Structure 1
Amino acid sequence: MSTITLLCIALAGVIMLLLLVIKAKVQPFVALLLVSLLVALAAGIPAGEVGKVMIAGMGGVLGSVTIIIGLGAMLGV
């Protein structure tokens, strides 16, 4: 898949995410899950791999955030 196609898919995903949260009043976490699923499928990731990719991506982000929250709690900020 070409770079331009992937950029267009990403842009469409961002627009869809904003519309779901702002106009449709969908909860942000649910909207993020739905849009990430659709973007992954549109980008050509096999349906069986989408869940694994999403879990791996979110796990990395949550791991980083957990460290920041833990250090903030220890410092009493």
Structure 2
Amino acid sequence: MEIEPDRSDLAKVDVSGVRRAINIGLLEGERLEPGDWILIHVGFALSKIDEAEAKAALEFLEGIGQAYDDELAALRDSSIDRG
């Protein structure tokens, strides 16, 4: 993860190999650093989680198969307006 230098409300993240910008405004006041695990939904960071929780969530998502693959494809094709 990398916080955008000119937009403190945006961060670059890696979701299963897909690098995206997400909005981290909901986590204002939370100390965020590269390597942190963040629960995201529709382009917004919802909470900071620990590695064990992240691993469990990822295993669940990978276990649902095609639906997860479809979500990754949609994530690749989406963008956040940086204007």
* Shared fold per TM-score greater than 0.5: no
Higher helix fraction: Structure 1 or Structure 2? Answer: 1
Which structure has the highest strand share of the two? 2
Q: In terms of Rg, which structure is larger?
A: 1
- The TM-score with structure 2 as length reference comes to 0.29
